[in-house]
């Protein structure tokens, strides 16, 4: 087995989580001021979603620290699942926020909205919208650099919050122009739909991590790399699996080599494959290669030129493709 190195606390990712928590708290406070000044359902929807941002920011920071702890006796595959678990919790909180928004909007439609100081409220909301937009873009950039599902979920949520703010400002602008106060709670309902869509995206991403969904882009890269550096002794590669756990990408596969090789010689080839794949994965990689002896059925596709046990003539070496290297194999 070959493993790359990962710093336990991955400073950049954790720093982004702390920034998200601090900025989210300040933005939430301003949004509630805007709501209390105006009585707007749309702005309440915006402020309610910010409560989720703050809670999620605290959980995010903790999960980033936990996820980057190295593997130990109790967690041999590391702690990466902390990130998608955090994202799952955040997606659930977003759904709760959507429910609050819907309830308030329906209530305001029933009793009739009482709006005031709309100009001040729109100005405050506009400022928080700009701040949220900048924060969301920053989090998204760090999430991509750090391969962090939790940060990506937070970035999506913050950017959705920006859209929520824009919707609230638009609704108050229309109320100001038309005098129709019912536009405000209707806008709140529309915002809730957008919030639910954001929750679904976050939950879907979290499920990919929790269920170890295959990384097909990585599988394609591995197949291409192994095919380019292939040795004549590598008769077959099969049962390749690649998945991500937080920032760590795990790969394991079976390598078929000539059966007349000694155990030591076979592991020399395994070590070469592991080094090749670690170069592809970078620091955050974990590679395991199982060595299998060839069988007569491999002869026609084996490129070994002087083989003392060949039983069939060489036809043509089968290329390494996603389909061939991910199948169960013959051994």
Q: Which domains does the chain have, with CATH numbers?
A: 2-210 (1.20.1510.10), 216-326 (3.30.70.1350)
Measured CA distances, 110 to 37, 106, 107, 174, 185 (Å) = 21, 6, 5, 20, 10
Let me know how many helices (H) and strands (E) the chain has, helices first. Answer: 9, 4
Among 98, 158, 99, 171, which Cα is nearest to 129's? 158
Question: Are 243 and 212 a contacting pair, CB within 8 Å?
Answer: yes
Encode 88-126: b = buried (16+ Cβ within 10 Å), e = exposed.
bbbbebbbebbebbbebbeebbeeebebeebeebbebbe
pLDDT at 6 over 50: no
pLDDT at 268 over 90: yes
Query: In terms of pLDDT, which residue wins out, 9 or 257?
Result: 257
Query: In terms of pLDDT, which residue wins out, 60 or 197?
Result: 197
Instruction: Determine the pLDDT at residue 321.
Output: 84
pLDDT digits 0-9 by tens, 289-325: 999 988 888 777 777 777 788 877 777 777 888 888 8
Rounded Cα distance between 267 and 288, Å, is 11
pLDDT digits 0-9 by tens, 190-211: 878 877 887 787 788 777 777 7
Query: Residue 116: enclosing H or E segment and its boundaries?
Result: none
What's the whole-number average pLDDT of the chain?
Answer: 79
Rounded Cα distance between 243 and 107, Å, is 46
Percent share of the chain, pLDDT over 90: 6
Among 294, 163, 166, which Cα is nearest to 237's? 294
Give the bridge partners for 255, in sequence order: 237, 291
Rounded Cα distance between 98 and 242, Å, is 36
- Among 65-79, 156-170, 239-253, 290-304, the range scoring the smallest mean pLDDT is 65-79
DSSP string, 155-204: HHHHHHHHHHHHHHHHHHHHHHHH--TTHHHHHHHHHHHHHHHHHHHHHH
Instruction: Determine the pLDDT at residue 5.
Output: 46
Phi, psi of 241 (to 5 degrees): -130, 135
> What confidence tier does 255 reach under pLDDT thresholds 50, 70, 90?
very high
Among 115, 152, 155, which Cα is nearest to 132's? 155
pLDDT at 35 over 90: no
């Amino acid at each position: 087995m070959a493993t790359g190195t990962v710093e336990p606390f991955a400073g950049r990712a954790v720093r982004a989580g702390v920034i998200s928590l601090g900025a989210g708290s300040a933005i939430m406070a301003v949004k509630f001021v805007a709501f209390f000044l105006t009585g707007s359902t749309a702005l309440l929807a915006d402020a309610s979603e910010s409560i989720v941002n703050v809670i999620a920011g605290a959980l995010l920071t903790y999960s980033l620290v936990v996820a980057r702890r190295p593997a130990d006796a109790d967690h041999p595959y590391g702690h990466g699942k902390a990130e998608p678990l955090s994202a799952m919790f955040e997606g659930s909180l977003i759904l709760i926020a959507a429910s609050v928004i819907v309830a308030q909007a329906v209530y305001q439609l029933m009793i009739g909205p009482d709006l005031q100081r709309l100009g001040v409220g729109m100005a405050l909301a506009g400022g928080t919208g700009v701040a949220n937009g900048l924060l969301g873009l920053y989090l998204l950039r760090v999430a991509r650099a750090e391969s962090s599902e939790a940060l990506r979920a937070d970035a999506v949520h913050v950017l959705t919050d920006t859209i929520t703010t824009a919707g609230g400002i638009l609704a108050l602008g229309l109320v100001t122009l038309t005098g129709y106060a019912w536009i405000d709670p209707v806008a709140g309902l529309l915002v809730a739909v957008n919030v639910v869509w954001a929750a679904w995206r976050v939950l879907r991403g979290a499920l990919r991590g929790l269920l170890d969904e295959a990384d097909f882009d990585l599988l394609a890269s591995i197949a291409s790399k192994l095919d380019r550096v292939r040795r004549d002794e590598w008769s077959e590669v099969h049962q390749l699996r690649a998945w991500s756990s937080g920032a760590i990408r795990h790969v394991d596969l079976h390598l078929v080599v000539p059966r007349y090789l000694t155990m030591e010689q076979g592991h020399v080839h395994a070590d070469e494959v592991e080094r090749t794949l670690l170069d592809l994965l970078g620091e955050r990689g974990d590679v395991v290669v199982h060595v299998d002896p060839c069988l007569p059925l491999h002869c026609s596709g084996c490129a070994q030129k002087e083989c003392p046990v060949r039983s069939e003539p060489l036809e043509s070496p089968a290329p390494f493709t996603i389909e061939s290297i991910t199948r169960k194999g013959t051994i």
